[in-house]
Structure formats: C-alpha cells, structure tokens
Amino acid sequence: MTREEAVAAAEARLLAAQFASDVDALDALLADELVFVAPDGRFMTKADDLEAHRSGALRFERFDLIERRLQPAGDCVVAMVQARIGGRWNGEPFGGRGVWTRVWRPDGDGWVVAAAHCANLAD
C-alpha cells in the first residue's frame, strides 16, 4: 500500500469517527500536537476537538464529498478536501460547502493528523 492509499484509508476512518463521535478512534487518529484552525479563525487543540465530540457539542450529520486530493510533502501527506457538510454545534444547525487541509504524518504503524485548517466557501 502506498502512503497515499494509507492516508486515504485514514481519512475514511477519521470521517467515520467524526460521524460517530468516537473519541477513542479520534484520539488514535489525531496527533497530540494537533492544531486545528476553525472556520472562525480559532486555534483548537486535540483536547478541544475530543471534548467537542465527548460532550456532544459537535455532531456531524452530512458529508457529501466534492473533491479530494492527496499530495506527498516530505515524510507527510497533505489531504485537501472539498465537501458539503451539515450538523449541529451546541445544538445549532450548521452546514454548507467547506474545504479542509490536513497534514498527515507517520506515527508508528499508522498516520495521524498533525495540523488542519477548515474554511467555509460561498455557494
């Protein structure tokens, strides 16, 4: 399996974990040093992300992939994803078209997200 194939499989596990709010699976897929830049510009840590799922504050309900690109970058792989999403944040609905960039780095026998960014796109 190429590293791009391995990261594509990890991307699928990440999406499944997000939809299920599976904190254990997310914990294994997110690097301890993770920094996520949210659409509103907030910097979030791995602990912030896990707590959002653990508490039920974040619920994903829709994900329609538009495009995915995987780009090797040194020892890492950069995943760029565009999709339509929907869900709830603190009980309030959210949704629309977004784009994500995730930097996956090798970790033991697998891959983890070390950095990520999300931006909302106009329809």
Distance (Å, rounded) from C-alpha 116 to C-alpha 50?
14
Average pLDDT for 97-105: 97
pLDDT for the residue 80: 97
The two tokens of residue 98 are: 């977004």
Asked whether 13 and 25 are in contact (CB, 8 A), the reply is: yes
pLDDT at 11 over 90: yes
How far CA 46 is from CA of 19, 41, 69, in Å, comes to 17, 16, 24
Q: What is the mean pLDDT of the chain?
A: 95
For residues 87 and 83, give the distance between their C-alpha atoms in angstroms, rounded to a whole number: 13
Is 3.10.450.50 the CATH classification of the domain at 3-121?
yes
